[in-house]
Amino acid sequence: MHSDVAVLGLGQMGSALAAAFLRAGHRVTVWNRSEAKTAPLVAQGARRAASALEAQRSAPVVVACVLDYPALTEILDPELPGVLVNLTSGSPEQAREMAARTPRYVDGGIMTTPPGIGDERSMILYSGDQDAFAEARNLLFALAEPVNLGAEPGRAALYDTALLGIMWATLTGWLHASALVTADGSTAAHFTPLATRWLGPVAGFVTTYAEQVDAGSYPGTDATLDVHLATLDHLVHASEVRKIDPTLPRLFHEYARQAVEAGHGGDGWARIIELLRAKAV
Ligand SMILES: NC(=O)c1ccc[n+]([C@@H]2O[C@H](COP(=O)([O-])OP(=O)(O)OC[C@H]3O[C@@H](n4cnc5c(N)ncnc54)[C@H](OP(=O)(O)O)[C@@H]3O)[C@@H](O)[C@H]2O)c1
């Protein structure tokens, strides 16, 4: 083995991963289905493997970052001698299935975009074989802070997708709010510093509610669902008057209404988790 790490897949993310390993001084082998993408990395000092198989035999740690699991399955060496760190996005179920048939398997969830790779403030979530993770850990610091979520191989993918859910909910909530304020002549630029400041207290609410969710008890000691329901009326009304899609506030309103009707008007917002769980099929 002549390299410290092999990177399979040199799309936007894989190229950023390989470049970060090179910047950190590691010996890197690269492979990509379309060979042209290897050229910029070879110019930075990487070795180009002629095949995916050759790349996987070139280093004790293989980092894979291709489009999806079917693509990974196509190129994976069934006799892979080293550690496989799979940074290809997938479901927790796919990660578990891959772990069951791949010895020394570590699954990862990248919580940044390519420009954030190599920045120690970024994080990548890992779970899977703990001996394999320990072997790769020092190398993985070149990419971002490695956050170890333990031996259950699906956990990194589960946390990754759950965190992305928070991102989409927050981004869409902010866009809805921006649509509201711009309808009355404000600008998103004027509004947004207040929005980002508001995210601080909201992070505090979440921390308090985490304990309530784990305890299954949701005392409305900060604000009751009765109060939320009345306030949500204003958001639905303000959206309708301005011809802004009221789907989101109506959804929140509906959750609050159902909880209040079920007799939980004195509880806090965390009570809504019971409705979310009950609606799952
Ligand atoms: N971009 C991000 O911000 C980001 C963030 C977190 C996670 N991710 C994850 O990282 C992975 C790669 O994303 P990306 O942004 O780098 O995508 P991308 O730029 O579209 O690159 C896709 C890569 O997959 C390869 N590929 C596709 N089908 C293949 C196949 N059948 N066999 C072999 N290789 C195949 C492509 O090879 P060719 O060059 O030959 O097409 C390319 O190297 C995805 O799972 C994505 O969800 C990305």
Q: What is the CATH number of the domain that holds 203?
A: 1.10.1040.10
With respect to residue 108, please indicate whether it lies within any of the assigned structural domains. Answer: yes
Distance from residue 9's CA to the centre of ligand 1 (Å): 6
Question: Does 141 share its domain with 227?
Answer: no
Predicted local confidence at residue 281, as pLDDT: 55
Predicted local confidence at residue 280, as pLDDT: 63
Predicted local confidence at residue 157, as pLDDT: 98
Provide mean pLDDT across the span 127-154.
Answer: 98
Sheet holding 145-148, edge to edge: 47-48, 28-31, 5-8, 61-64, 83-86, 105-110, 123-128, 145-148
Question: Does 47 share its domain with 106?
Answer: yes
Question: Does 25 share its domain with 89?
Answer: yes
Residue 7 has pLDDT above 80, yes or no: yes
Q: Which residue has the tokens 């120690």?
A: 120
Residue range 51-86, pLDDT digits in tens? 999 999 999 999 999 999 999 999 999 899 899 999
Length in residues, the chain: 281
| Ligand 1 atom closest to Cα of residue 67 | 24
Residue range 120-137, pLDDT digits in tens? 999 999 999 999 999 999
Predicted local confidence at residue 279, as pLDDT: 75
Domain boundary among 152, 171, 204: 152
Residue with the smallest CA separation from ligand 1 atom 39 is 34
Residue 276 has pLDDT above 60, yes or no: yes
Give the torsion sign (CA, 95, 98, 103, 108): negative
Question: Does 140 share its domain with 16?
Answer: yes
Judge if the beta carbon of residue 12 lies within 6 A of ligand 1.
yes
Residue 11 has pLDDT above 90, yes or no: yes
Containing domain of residue 103, as a range?
5-152
d(Cα 71, Cα 62) in Å, to the nearest integer? 15
Domains of the chain: total: 2
The preferred substitution site among 13, 35, 48, 143 for testing ligand 1, maximizing ligand atoms within 8 Å of CB, is 13
Question: Does 33 share its domain with 117?
Answer: yes
Question: Does 140 share its domain with 9?
Answer: yes
Judge if the beta carbon of residue 109 lies within 6 A of ligand 1.
no
